[in-house]
Structure 1
Amino acid sequence: MTTLGVVFRPQHPPERLREVVRAADESGLDELWLWEDCFLEGGIATAAAALAWSERVRVGVGVLPVPLRNVAITAMELATLERMFPGRGIWGVGHGVQDWMGQVGERVASPITLLREYLEALRALLAGQRITVRGRYIQLDGVALDWPPAAAPPILAAATGPRTLELVGEAADGVILTSSTPADGIRTAAGIMRAARPEALAAQPYPIVVYLLAAAGPDAAERVAAELRAEGHDGIPDIGVAGDARAIADTVIRWVEAGATSVILQPTADEPDPVGFVRFTAEQVGPLVP
Structure 2
Amino acid sequence: MTAAGVVFTPKSPPERLREVARAAEAAGFAQLWLWEDCFYEGGLTSATAALAWTERIEVGVGLLPVPLRNPALAAMEIATVARMFPGRFRPALGHGNLEWMEQAGARVSSPMTLLREYTTAVRDLLHGRTVDVEGRYVRLSDVTLDWPPASPPPVIVGGRGPKTVRLAGEIGDGVLLDAGFALDKVRDVFATAAEGRTAAGRGDPFDNVVFVELDPTSADLAAQMDESIATLSGIGADTVVFHGAEPSFDPEPLIAAWETRGT
Superposition TM-score, scaled by structure 1 size = 0.86
| One-letter code aligned to 2:251 | P
Task: Give 1:249's aligned residue.
Answer: 226
Distance 1:112 1:272 in 2: 30
Distance 1:181 1:114 in 2: 26
Report deviation, 1:41. 0.6
State the identity as a percent: 46
CA contact (8 A) 2:112 2:164 kept: yes
Distance 1:100 1:199 in 2: 33
Task: Give 1:274's aligned residue.
Answer: 251
Distance 1:141 1:8 in 2: 37
Q: Cα gap change, 1:79/1:34 in structure 2, threshold over 3 Å: closer, same or farther? A: same
Task: Give 2:59's aligned residue.
Answer: 59
**1:198-221 deviations in Å (ceiling 9; x for gaps):** 46855655311000001243xx4x
**Aligned ranges for residues 178-197 of structure 1 at < 5 Å?**
178-197=178-197
Q: Cα gap change, 1:272/1:178 in structure 2, threshold over 3 Å: closer, same or farther? A: closer
Q: Cα gap change, 1:272/1:195 in structure 2, threshold over 3 Å: closer, same or farther? A: closer
The two structures, once aligned, show a CA RMSD in angstroms of 1.8
CA contact (8 A) 2:27 2:258 kept: no
| One-letter code aligned to 1:140 | L
CA contact (8 A) 2:92 2:157 kept: yes
Q: Cα gap change, 1:159/1:249 in structure 2, threshold over 3 Å: closer, same or farther? A: same
Task: Give 1:127's aligned residue.
Answer: 127
Report deviation, 1:131. 1.4
Q: Cα gap change, 1:150/1:167 in structure 2, threshold over 3 Å: closer, same or farther? A: same
Does 198-207 or 157-166 show the bigger shift? Answer: 198-207
**Aligned ranges for residues 1-290 of structure 1 at < 5 Å?**
1-198=1-198, 205-217=205-217, 220=218, 243-271=220-248, 274-284=251-261
Distance 1:54 1:283 in 2: 20
CA contact (8 A) 1:128 1:148 kept: yes
**1:182-203 deviations in Å (ceiling 9; x for gaps):** 2111111111111221468556
Distance 1:164 1:148 in 2: 27
Q: Which runs of no fewer than 5 residues in structure 1 stay unpaired? A: 221-241
The alignment covers a number of residue pairs equal to 263
Q: Which runs of no fewer than 5 residues in structure 2 stay unpaired? A: none
Q: Cα gap change, 1:262/1:187 in structure 2, threshold over 3 Å: closer, same or farther? A: same
**1:123-163 deviations in Å (ceiling 9; x for gaps):** 11001111111000001011111111112221000010011
Superposition TM-score, scaled by structure 2 size = 0.94
| Runs of 4+ displaced beyond 6 Å | none
Distance 1:67 1:200 in 2: 25
